[in-house]
Chain A
Amino acid sequence: DAGVIQSPRHEVTEMGQEVTLRCKPISGHDYLFWYRQTMMRGLELLIYFNNNVPIDDSGMPEDRFSAKMPNASFSTLKIQPSEPRDSAVYFCASSLEFGAGGTGELFFGEGSRLTVL
């Protein structure tokens, strides 16, 4: 398996622009997580899905952020409009059902580094 695939790896945009980050989880995994990492705040959980359904989005900073999972093999994290303080590395991770023969281990993608000027 190719692992969790994220795109783009790097994005530089100007304040006010819309940003869309994409994630393809590992096939068969039923949990998908979006994280944001900054030096100041560390690794923050933004939202996670189970079977394509958002379970907890309490970590989403504000209404400018939205995440969707239209099917089991694709998710997006959208920021509109973007602001300089959104600059961070955004990670997507997926895992198999905890306890159903799986360890619940999270597999992370390589991240999308976002810079908002």
Chain B
Amino acid sequence: DAKTTQPNSMESNEEEPVHLPCNHSTISGTDYIHWYRQLPSQGPEYVIHGLTSNVNNRMASLAIAEDRKSSTLILHRATLRDAAVYYCILRDPHNNNDMRFGAGTRLTVKP
């Protein structure tokens, strides 16, 4: 019962922006949208999260659709070190506050 859907893979050129989409049409009002990434041979690491408004941090930006049924993780200038699997996850802190990962999007960055 997948709560989010993401493309299996995407490619980007180095130093270009990357837009990673995520669909979550069954999102509930209390679900937060989290993004994590997993670099090769490492554990996942937090990237960003949001509820309704767009969010920016030093790693990325998160654009959330007005109806919250989709979101986009934006890497403003991809580097080779951004090559990873990116996971979009819904997490409800008020109900079953777990964190279940889907298959994610494997991002390849070409020099």
Residue ranges of A at the interface with B (Cβ–Cβ < 8 Å): 31, 33, 35, 42-45, 48, 50, 55-56, 91, 93, 98-99, 103-111
Contacts and interface: CB of A to CB of B under 8 A. Distances in A.
Nearest to A41: B103
Interface string B51-74: 000000000000000000000000
B93 to A, nearest CB: 4
A105 B37 CA distance: 12
A43 B42 CA distance: 12
Closest 8 CB pairs of A and B: A108-B43, A98-B93, A43-B101, A105-B46, A91-B43, A45-B100, A99-B93, A108-B44
Contacts, number: 56
A48 B98 contact: yes
Interface of B: 32, 34, 36, 38, 42-46, 49, 87, 91, 93, 96-104
A42 B4 CA distance: 15
A56 B44 contact: no
A19 B47 CA distance: 32
A61 B87 CA distance: 23
